[in-house]
Each structure stands twice: as C-alpha cells, then as structure tokens.
A and B are shown apart, each in its own frame.
Chain A
Amino acid sequence: MRRLLSHLFMALAFMFMAVPVFAQGGAAAGAVNWVAITAGFSMAIASGLCALGQAKATASAAEALGRNPAARPGIQLALILGLALIESLALYTLVIIFAKVN
C-alpha cells in the first residue's frame, strides 16, 4: 500500500511539473518575474536555516544548563548573543531581497 502511494505521489509530481508545457508561449512566457520567485525561495531558505540554527543553539544551551547549572550566566549570555546574531542573518536576507525586488 505504501509503495503504491509513493508511486502515485511521484506520478502526481511529474504531472504538476508537466503543467508548464500547456502554458501560453510567445511574449507571455518571457514575463516570468524570476527576481520575485528567487527572492521568495531565498527568504524561505534563510528563514528555515535560521530557525534550525536557533533550535540547535537553544537545545544545546538547555542541555548544558541541565548538566551544569552553575555555568548559567555564561551559557545565558552566549545564548542571547547567539540568538540575536542568528536573527540578524534572516534580517540581512530580508533587506537584500527588498533592495533587489524594489
């Protein structure tokens, strides 16, 4: 059953990829706004990677705090600075995208 479903989903994916074949050609085909599409993908990738980084930092800090509560001030400082800097990476991407799209 699972094998059948995976085949079905693969077939559906190929069918969705084939949809542009039926698109209108000529001048309309050249009007694709690749900057906007790439901007959306890059923002999604940046946000996802920043979320993964924040999750990893928070999990490591929580684990370290659980093992060694006496080291709390240092771990807390490093976590706050790390989270702030990771968030700024997503902001860098947003600013670059905004500058390029506009």
Chain B
Amino acid sequence: MTTAEPLTTDPNSEAFYAAALDRISRFMLVLTITLSAAAWWRYGWRIVLGFACGCAVAYLNFHWLKRVVTALADRATQPGRTQSSGGVVLRFLLRYVLMGLGAYVIFTVSPASLYGLFAGLFLPVAAIACEAAYEMWVAVARGT
C-alpha cells in the first residue's frame, strides 16, 4: 500500500497557484479594455455597448461565483461560524437573474448589440485560457 503524497510541496509554487484567481480577474479587465477598443474600431459603438455590458455581467458573475464557493468552503471546513445558507443560495440564483435581465434589456433596446453581449459573456473563458497559457509559460521558463 502506497501513501499519498501532496502534489505541491514548494511554497513558491503554492503561492503562485494561490494567486491564480486574482490574475484571472486582472486578465478579465485587460481583455475587456483591449477587445472593446478592437471591437469599437471594427464593428462600431452598438456592438461595443453590448460587449461592455456582457463583460460587466460576466465579471460580476465570476466575482459572485468566487464568493459563493468561498462561502461553501467555509461551510464545509468551519461548521461553527458560517453565514446563512439562504444568502448563499440567493447570491447564486441572483447571478442568473442578472444575466437574464441584462440580455432582455439589450435585446429590447438594441437587438444588434446582442451578439456583443454574448461575446462579452465568454470573458471568463478567455481569461482562464490566458491564465493557462501564462502558467504554461512560467512552467517552461522555470524548466519544471
């Protein structure tokens, strides 16, 4: 029978991976600014408006997802001091309400901007891809 060993023992690696969520948030902000400027130049302000709304909703959505998961982890690891489960569930469901409301408003005001909104909603995926590429680059640079 073999004993399980921890995956990472290097404190530098642990600190590096612990900062991944903050880096993803920063990637989201950078991508929002960069892609909005590119879309303004290529498609015009209507699409950019929808894209910016989508990015804002996606950023808020990701932020609330982090808070909900943190609350869930608190509940699993520290049973004594936890916040109410109603608040956690409400915040989890409020994300979908916000996304639906944003899509409805954009669709009502300007249907042409809806494609921009959809593109903006994929911002976390692009930021996670950037983070994966960055981690790969760091791993190659370190020679690990």
| Across-interface contacts of B114 in A (CB, < 8 A) | 98
Whether the Cβ atoms of B76 and A88 lie closer than 8 Å is no
Choose among A62, A65, A81, A84 the residue with the greatest number of B CB atoms under 10 Å from its CB.
Answer: A84
Which one of B18, B72, B77 lies within 8 Å of A58 (CB-CB)? B72
Whether the Cβ atoms of A83 and B69 lie closer than 8 Å is yes
In the complex, B118 has a CB within 8 A of chain A: yes
By beta carbon, the residue of chain B nearest A88 is: B125
Chain A 59-92 against B: per-residue CB contact (8 Å), 1 yes, 0 no?
0011001100100111111011101110110010
In the complex, A45 has a CB within 8 A of chain B: no
For the complex, count residues of A whose C-beta is within 8 A of B: 24
Whether the Cβ atoms of B76 and A65 lie closer than 8 Å is yes
Contact count band on B: 20 to 34
Whether the Cβ atoms of A80 and B65 lie closer than 8 Å is yes
Whether the Cβ atoms of B72 and A95 lie closer than 8 Å is no
Expressed in whole angstroms, the Cα–Cα distance for A61 and B73 within the complex equals 9
Whether the Cβ atoms of A72 and B77 lie closer than 8 Å is yes
Whether the Cβ atoms of B21 and A77 lie closer than 8 Å is yes
| Across-interface contacts of B31 in A (CB, < 8 A) | none
| Across-interface contacts of B73 in A (CB, < 8 A) | 61, 65, 72, 75-76
Interface residues of chain A, those whose CB is within 8 Å of chain B, are 58, 61-62, 65-66, 69, 72-77, 79-81, 83-85, 87-88, 91, 94-95, 98
**What would 20 A/B residue contacts be, using CB atoms closer than 8 Å?**
A58-B72, A62-B72, A62-B76, A66-B76, A69-B76, A72-B73, A74-B8, A74-B17, A75-B73, A76-B69, A77-B20, A77-B21, A79-B72, A80-B21, A80-B65, A84-B62, A84-B128, A87-B61, A91-B118, A95-B118
